[in-house]
Structure formats: structure tokens, C-alpha cells
Structure 1
Amino acid sequence: MRKALFLFYFLFFYAITQLLWWGFILIKFEPDRKGMIIGEGLIFFLIFIWGAFRLKKHVRREHENNQQQQNFLLAITHELKSPLASVKLYIQTILKRDLDREQQKVFLSNSLKDIERLDDLVENVLLTTKLENRAYQLPKEVFNMTELVEQVIDRLQKNACKSQVIKADLDEDIEIKADKFAITNVITNLVENAVKYSPPCATVSVNLNKQGQNLLFSVADHGEGIPDDEKKLIFNKFYRVGSEATRKTKGTGLGLYIVKTVLQKHNASIRVKDNKPSGSIFEVTFENYAS
């Protein structure tokens, strides 16, 4: 990137120098047309400046996209390798050692958690691929969203620490017409993020409530929160809060991009608010959800 910027600035200043030099020569040999030469030169100069900086912005954006994709490949490789290594170790231990039934159940339960983690990752990648296809239409059906949220919470509660509390306030038997697979992914990503970015065993609040013709789904955590200047960026593909050097939590940068894109295809909206005294609240609104 530094070499590219150096070459860009070198060519930029070279072109400006040549423009000024040829302008000086033209004025010297045709002084009667001085006004026209200066005017046209200024117009060309402004267009050239605009084009050059547009090009620089594009090059920088491409570099950032390439960097994000490289980070994604590294993250997804780690996300795949870590649970696979864990499952392999558990199974090898069960096969090689004479474990009692309780120990086997613990090892198999832990293996199942890692497999569920792999399943979520594969679902994220598959759904992202589908969403990239603009012609793809999400198949919609009527289903009980209250039961769906309860199922997701139950599964993620088991993956959390024993004393972790995922508090749910859900209106009963709420039915919605939507893509069940995609909405499951939305709920999973939001609740899982809240658990992931909260302190150990902190409370995560999940709400699902009717508000007239609208349906409000929210997830609140007590983590470090999200800076105001990053609230809009977190829904970009591959974007993750913080720098690569300071980021400690695992992730691919696809979760919130999927959430935003799926909700847009359902005419739903999402906003991020600060939680008090710390943390974030993700608020999803389904307008006229029953239609």
C-alpha cells in the first residue's frame, strides 16, 4: 500500500508540474490568449484533482476490503479448526480411556456444543452466499416466533456458563410470516453476540413484545458497548469493532451483516442504543408483522 501511495503521489505531482509547464509555454507564445489558457487550465486542473483523489479513495477502499477479507479467512479458519480439534480430542479420549458413563456424557455434551458452533458458522456462510444473490427471494411461512426465540435461548443458555442468566420477556404465541431459517439466524446472531461480548456470567435480556401493529424484538447486554462512530459500521460485511491487535473475541464479521440484510428483506429495521450503565441494546422492529 505504501508503494502504491508513493507512486500515486509521484505521478500526481509530475502531472501537475507538466500542466503548469505547458501552460507557461502556451502563454509565452500566445500572450493574447492568456485568459482563455488560464481559464481552461484551471478547469482541467480541478477535474484532474477531483479524479485523482477519487482514484486514491477507491484504491484505499479496495485495500481495506482486501484486508478485511484476509482477516475473515484467518478468522473462519480458526473458527473451523478450533471446534474440530476439540471434538477430535474428546472422541480420542473416549476411545482410548476407560471412562465411566458420566464422564462420557460430559465429553459427548461438550462435543455437541462444538458441533453446534460449527453448524452456526456454516449457516452464516451459506446464508451470506444466498443474500449476495440479488435475485434470491426468501421463502416466507407463518411460524410461532415466541417458540423460536425460546429454542434459541435454551440452546445458547446451555453453551453459556452455569450461572449465566439469559432473561426472557416474551409475549405468548406470537406468529409471524417470514423466512424461518433466516430469522433464526438473526435471533441466534444477536443473542450469541450479547453473550459473547458480556462479562462472564452477566445478565443478557431478550424481549419480544407486540406494539400495536408492530413487533419489537430486543437484546440487551452489559458489555463494553459500541462507540457512536462505529454504530453504523458494525453492519458492514467483515467489519468488527476495535482493531485486530486489541480484539479478543472470536468472530468472522458476518453476523451483523446478515442480520441487517435479512431484516431489510423483511421490511424490518434495527437500531443500536447504549445500555445503562454499560453495554448495548439491539432493537428490531417488524412493521405490520402479521401481514
Structure 2
Amino acid sequence: MKKALFLFYFLIFYAITQLLWWGYILVKFEPDRKGMIIGEGLIFMLIFVWGALKLKKQVKREHEINQQQQNFLLAITHELKSPLASVKLYIQTILKRDLDREQQKVFLANSLKDIERLDDLVENVLLTTKLENRAYQLPKEAFNMTVLVEEIIDRLQKNACKSQIIKYDLEPNIELKADKFAITNVITNLVENAVKYSPPCATVFVKLQQQAGNLLFSVTDHGEGIPDEEKKLIFNKFYRVGSEATRKTKGTGLGLYIVKTVLQKHNATIRVKNNNPTGSIFEVIFENYAN
């Protein structure tokens, strides 16, 4: 990137130098047209500089996208390799050692958690592919949102910590007409992120309620929070803070992109607020959801 920028600036410097030189020669040989030559030269130079800056911005953007894609490949490779290695180790241990029934249950339960992680990852990639197709229409059906949230919380709670860390306040029997698969992905990503970016075994609070004709779903955590300048960036595809080599938290950078895109297709909105004294609140609003 540095070599490309050096070449870019050198070519701009060379082009401007040549422009000034030819302008000087024209003025010298045709002094009567000095005003016109200088005026047209300035206009050309302004257009040239504007185009050069636009080109630089585009090249920089392409470099950032390529870097994000490389980070994504590194992340997804790690996300696939880690649970597969874990499942392999558990199964090999069960086969090679004479374990009692309780030990086998523990190993199998842990293997199931890793398989669920793989399942979530595949669902994220699959849904991202579908959302990239503009012609794809999310199929909508009526389902019990309260029951769905309870099921997701129960599964993630078992994977998160031995103590009860995911607490919730869910209004009973809320019906929503939407793509159940996509909404499941939205809820899973938001709750899983809250657990992931919170201190070990910290409380995460999930809320579902009707409010003034709207459906409100929120997830509150007590993590480090999100800086104001990054609140909009976190919904970009592949966006993650830091590099994959130094980041401790797991992820691919697809989760919040999927959340935002799915909600947009359901005419719903999401906003991020600060949770005092620390943490974040992700608030989803389905406006006039019963219509």
C-alpha cells in the first residue's frame, strides 16, 4: 500500500509539474492569451486534483475491503477449526478411554455445544449469501416471538456459564409475522455478542415487550461499551475492532451486518445506546408490528 501511494503521489507531482511547464511555454509564446491560458489551466488543474483525490479514496476503500476480507477468512478459519478440534478430541477420548456414563455425558454435551457453534456459523454465512442477493425475498410467517426468545436464551445460557447470567423480562404470547429463520439469527447474534463482550459470567438482560403499538426487543450488557465514533461502523460487513491476530473475542464480523440487513428488510430499526456505568444496549423496534 505504501509503495502504491508513493507512486500515486509521484505521478500527480509529475503531471502538475508538466502542466505548469506547458502553461509557462504557452504564456511565453502567446502573451496576449495569458488570461485565457491561466484560467483554463486552473480549471483543468482543479478537475485533475479532484479526480486524483477521488481515485485515492477509492483505492484506499478497496484496500480496506481486501483487508477486511482477509481478516474474515482468518476468523472463519479459526471459528471452524477450534470447535472441530474440540469435538474430535472429545470423541477420541470417549473411544480410547474407559469412561463412566457421567463423564461420557459431559464430553458429549460439550461436543454438542461446539456443534451448535458450527451450526450458528454456517447459518450466518448462509444468510449473508441470501441477503447479498437483492432479488431474494424473506419468507414471512406468524410465530410466537416470546417462545423463540426463550429457546435461544436457554441454549446460549447453557453455553455461556454455569451460573445464571442471562436474565430476561419477556411479555408472554407475542406473535410476530416475519422470517423466523432470519429473526432467530438476529436474536442469537445480539444475545451472543452481549455474552461474548461482557466480563466472565456478567449479567446480560434481555427484554421483549409491546409499547405504543410497537414491538420492542432489547439486549443489555455490562461490557466495555462501544465508542460513539464506532456505533455506525459496527454494522458494516466484516467490520471488527483490531486485527484477527490480536483479537481475543471470537467472531467473523458478519453478525451485526446480518442483524441490520434483516431488520431493514422487516422495516424494523436498531439503535445502540450506552449502558451506565458501562456496557451497551442494543434496542430493536418493530413499528406497527401487528399490522
Residue 152 of structure 2 is aligned to residue 152 of structure 1: yes
The answer to whether the Cα contact below 8 Å between 2:74 and 2:244 also exists between their aligned partners in 1 is: no
Residue 265 of structure 2 is aligned to residue 265 of structure 1: yes
| Ranges of 4+ aligned residues in structure 1 off by more than 3 Å | 242-246
Letter paired with 2:137:
Q
In the aligned structure 2, how far is the partner of 1:170 from the partner of 1:121? 26
> Structure 1's 252 and 232: CA in aligned 2 closer, same or farther, altered over 3 A?
same
Write out aligned runs for 1:75-86 (5 A).
75-86=75-86
Please report the TM-score for the alignment, with normalisation by the length of structure 2. 0.99
In the aligned structure 2, how far is the partner of 1:52 from the partner of 1:212? 51
Letter paired with 2:282:
F
Partner deviation per Cα, 1:102-143 (whole Å, 9 max, x = no partner): 000000000000000000000000000000000000000000
In the aligned structure 2, how far is the partner of 1:242 from the partner of 1:231? 15
Question: Shift in Å at residue 15 of structure 1?
Answer: 0.2
In the aligned structure 1, how far is the partner of 2:257 from the partner of 2:178? 18
Q: 1:163 maps to which residue?
A: 163
Residue 6 of structure 2 is aligned to residue 6 of structure 1: yes
In the aligned structure 1, how far is the partner of 2:257 from the partner of 2:65? 14
Q: How many residues align?
A: 291
Question: Shift in Å at residue 235 of structure 1?
Answer: 0.1
The answer to whether the Cα contact below 8 Å between 1:226 and 1:241 also exists between their aligned partners in 2 is: no
In the aligned structure 1, how far is the partner of 2:243 from the partner of 2:254? 16
In the aligned structure 2, how far is the partner of 1:89 from the partner of 1:17? 66
Unaligned stretches of 5+ residues in structure 2:
none
Question: Shift in Å at residue 242 of structure 1?
Answer: 3.9
The answer to whether the Cα contact below 8 Å between 2:189 and 2:259 also exists between their aligned partners in 1 is: yes
> Structure 1's 244 and 112: CA in aligned 2 closer, same or farther, altered over 3 A?
closer
The answer to whether the Cα contact below 8 Å between 1:219 and 1:282 also exists between their aligned partners in 2 is: yes
Please report the TM-score for the alignment, with normalisation by the length of structure 1. 0.99
Letter paired with 1:83:
P
In the aligned structure 2, how far is the partner of 1:225 from the partner of 1:197? 9
The answer to whether the Cα contact below 8 Å between 2:90 and 2:108 also exists between their aligned partners in 1 is: yes
In the aligned structure 2, how far is the partner of 1:213 from the partner of 1:41? 62
Question: Shift in Å at residue 165 of structure 1?
Answer: 1.5
SS at structure 2 position matched to 1:269: strand
Q: 1:17 maps to which residue?
A: 17
SS at structure 2 position matched to 1:290: coil
Write out aligned runs for 1:211-290 (5 A).
211-244=211-244, 246-290=246-290
SS at structure 2 position matched to 1:163: coil
The answer to whether the Cα contact below 8 Å between 1:199 and 1:222 also exists between their aligned partners in 2 is: yes
Question: Shift in Å at residue 241 of structure 1?
Answer: 2.7
Partner deviation per Cα, 1:84-107 (whole Å, 9 max, x = no partner): 000000000000110000000000
Question: Shift in Å at residue 244 of structure 1?
Answer: 4.5
Letter paired with 1:166:
I
> Structure 1's 216 and 73: CA in aligned 2 closer, same or farther, altered over 3 A?
same
The answer to whether the Cα contact below 8 Å between 1:164 and 1:202 also exists between their aligned partners in 2 is: no
In the aligned structure 2, how far is the partner of 1:216 from the partner of 1:245? 37
In the aligned structure 2, how far is the partner of 1:242 from the partner of 1:279? 19
Q: 2:208 maps to which residue?
A: 208
In the aligned structure 2, how far is the partner of 1:65 from the partner of 1:265? 24
Letter paired with 1:70:
Q
The answer to whether the Cα contact below 8 Å between 1:221 and 1:275 also exists between their aligned partners in 2 is: yes
Partner deviation per Cα, 1:178-200 (whole Å, 9 max, x = no partner): 00000000000000000000001
In the aligned structure 1, how far is the partner of 2:129 from the partner of 2:31? 63
SS at structure 2 position matched to 1:15: helix
The answer to whether the Cα contact below 8 Å between 1:164 and 1:200 also exists between their aligned partners in 2 is: no
In the aligned structure 1, how far is the partner of 2:164 from the partner of 2:200? 8
Question: Shift in Å at residue 247 of structure 1?
Answer: 2.4
Unaligned stretches of 5+ residues in structure 1:
none
Q: 1:43 maps to which residue?
A: 43
Q: Aligned-residue CA RMSD in angstroms?
A: 0.8
Question: Shift in Å at residue 270 of structure 1?
Answer: 0.2
Question: Shift in Å at residue 164 of structure 1?
Answer: 3.9
The answer to whether the Cα contact below 8 Å between 2:71 and 2:243 also exists between their aligned partners in 1 is: no
